[in-house]
Chain A
Amino acid sequence: MSELKSGSNLEKVLKAGHFAFTGECGPPKGANVEHLKEKIEPLKGMVDAVNVTDNQTAVVRMSSWAASTIMCQEGVEPNFQMVCRDRNRLAIQADILGVYAMGIRNMLCLSGDHQRFGNHPESKNVYDIDSMQLIALVKKMRDEGKFLNGEEIDVPPRLFIGAAANPFADPFEFRVYRLAKKIDAGADFIQTQCIYNMDRFKEFIKQAVHMGLHEKCYILAGVTPMKSVGMALYMAKQVPGMDVPESLIKRLRGAGKGKAGEEGIRFALEQIEEFKEMEGVAGVHLMAIEWEHKVPEIAERAGVLPRPVV
C-alpha cells in the first residue's frame, strides 16, 4: 500500500494512520437539490467522507451517482454506493466510468436489499453479479485497466473500494471468512453494519485481527445512536441481521421520559471511545439515521474534531 490507489481524502486519512470518521446521507425522494444540500451542510468538516445510499431498502430516491456529484460540488467527499440489485454488468461498468469522470473517488459495493422490501415490489430482479464480483470488477478496472470482458479501458477509473460486513448476520462462524474473501477480492476498506453488541463484535474483530485482515484492509465500525426506546425495539425485532442487547434497551428505558435520545448518544460516544483503542478498528462509520443534524454535536463530543487535513 505504498502509492495511493485513488487519492481520495478517505484513503489519505486512513493511510496516514488517523482514526477515520465517516458519515451517511440518504438522497431525497425526488429531485429536491435544496433539501439534499441542507442535509449535506451539517456534515461539512465533520467527517472524512459521506456514504450516499443507492435506492436504500429498495425505495426509489435520487440516484447515488447524482447525489454524490452534487455532494462533490458542495465540497464534501462522497462514498458512492452501488447495489447489484438494480443494474446489470453493462450499466455497472458504465456508471463506474461515469462517477469517476465526475470526480468521485470512493465506491462502496453492496448486494442491495431485495426489492420486496421497497416501494416497487413488482420490479424485475437484476443481480447479474453479486457484491463480491462487483468488488473484484472495480479492482480489475482500476489495477488492470480492463473491463470485465478483458478489453482495455480508455482511462481507467481509480476508485477506493469499499464493502460492507455484517458481523451479526448468520451464520456467525462464517462472517469473518466472508470478510476475508471480500478483502481478497479487492476491498480496500470495510464498513460494518451498526453495532450494539460490543462483546460479540470484539469476538469478531479478534478473529479478523488473528487472520491479519486489518493489515490488508481498513475496518470501520458502524455506529448508529439510538434516538428512542421505540427505535431500539424496532431495530431489535424488525431489522434482519441486527443484534440489540437487552441491556441497552433497559438502559434507554431507565434514562427516563424524553431522555432516551441523550442516553443513546452517550452509549454511542462510549462505543467510539472503545473503538479508538480497539486493535483492528481503523475508524468509525456514523449512521445518524434521520438525525443528520446531530452529527456535528456527536463529532465534537467524540473528540474527533477537527478532522485531519492530509
Chain B
Amino acid sequence: MIVADRKPLKEILEMLDGCNRVLIVGCKGCVSVCNVGGSKEVGILASILKIAGKKNGLDIEVDEKTLERQCDPEYVDQIKDVVADYDVILSMACGVGPQFLSERYPENRCLPAVNTTFLGGAVQHGIWEERCAGCGTCGIHHFGGLCPIARCSKSLLNGPCGGSADGKCEISKDVDCIWDMIVKKAMEQGRLDDLLKFKPAKNWSTARDGGPRKSVREELVQ
C-alpha cells in the first residue's frame, strides 16, 4: 500500500490559518490500512482542530467525510454538492487525493494533511516498511524475491558494499542490509552463481527519472 504519516500539527494549523470552515476528507484505501487517514483518523484530526480553534478563541467548524478512495473521479465527485460551503478541503489521503480534489474543485483550496512516503507493507501491527520503489522494471526474481533498488540505501545491483556489518546497513542499525539477506538466501539455496553474474547498469527511464508516468489499458479505454 501507499504509506503516509500525518503532518505535524503546527504545519497543518499554519496551512489552515484564517480558515473558519474546514472539510476533512478521509480515504478508505491505503491510508485507512496504515491508520493515518481513515474515518477514525479524520475524527481525531477534527477534534484536534476544534481544540486548537477554541484554544485560540476561534470558532472553527470542522466537518468530516470519508470517501471510498480519492484516486477515482466517481468517488471524488461525491462531495460536489457540499464543497462550496467550505473555506478549505483538508485531504487525509495520499498525495494523489488532494491533487484529484484540486483538479475536480479548482475553486476550492485542497490541502494535504499527510506526508506520503513510500510503497510498503505491515511488518508488525503499527509498523510499516518500504518494499518497492516503483522503478518500472521489476527484477526481484534475480535477487531471491528481495528488492535491492528499494531496500538497499545505495540501490546497488552488485552488492553488498563495504559498509554492511552484522546484517545492518551502514546508515543505521535500524535498517537491515538487504544484500546481506540476498547473499545469505542465495548461499542457503545453493544459488550463489546467480549473484556472481554481473548485473549491468539499470535502465532508470521507466522510473520517475524518466518523467511522470502513465499506464494505459487499451482494452478498457473507450
Contact = CB atoms under 8 A, between A and B. Distances in A.
A13 interface: no
Give chain B's interface secondary structure class. Answer: loop
A131 B160 CA distance: 10
16 contacts: A89-B201, A114-B171, A125-B154, A130-B154, A130-B155, A132-B157, A132-B158, A132-B199, A137-B201, A148-B201, A164-B162, A169-B165, A171-B183, A174-B187, A241-B162, A241-B163
Interface of A: 84-85, 89, 111-114, 116-117, 125, 127-133, 136-137, 148, 164-166, 169-171, 173-174, 177-178, 180-181, 184-185, 193, 240-241
B161 A181 contact: no
A169 B158 contact: no
A240 B163 contact: yes
A136 B164 contact: no
A46 B123 CA distance: 55
B161 A111 contact: yes
B159 interface: yes
Interface string B137-162: 00000000000000001111111111
A130 B157 contact: yes
Given A170-B177, A185-B198, A240-B170, A130 B184 contact: no
B162 A193 contact: yes
Contact of B164 (A125, A130, A170, A181): A170
| Most chain B CB atoms below 10 A, which of A84, A125, A170, A241 | A170
B52 to A, nearest CB: 29
B192 interface: yes
Contact of A169 (B160, B195, B196): B160
Nearest to B198: A185
Contacts of B158: 130-133, 178, 181
B74 to A, nearest CB: 37
Contact of B201 (A113, A125, A129, A180): A129
Contacts of B201: 89, 128-129, 133, 137, 148
Contacts of B167: 170
Contacts of A166: 162
A166 B159 CA distance: 12
Interface of B: 153-167, 170-172, 177, 180, 183-184, 187, 192, 195-196, 198-202, 204
Given A114-B153, A127-B156, A169 B198 contact: no
Contacts of B156: 111, 127, 130-132
Contacts of B196: 177, 180-181
A222 to B, nearest CB: 11
Contacts of B198: 132, 136, 181, 184-185
Contacts of B161: 111, 131, 169
Contacts of B195: 174, 177
B192 A169 contact: no
B116 to A, nearest CB: 18
Nearest to A184: B198
A175 B196 CA distance: 11
Contacts of B177: 170
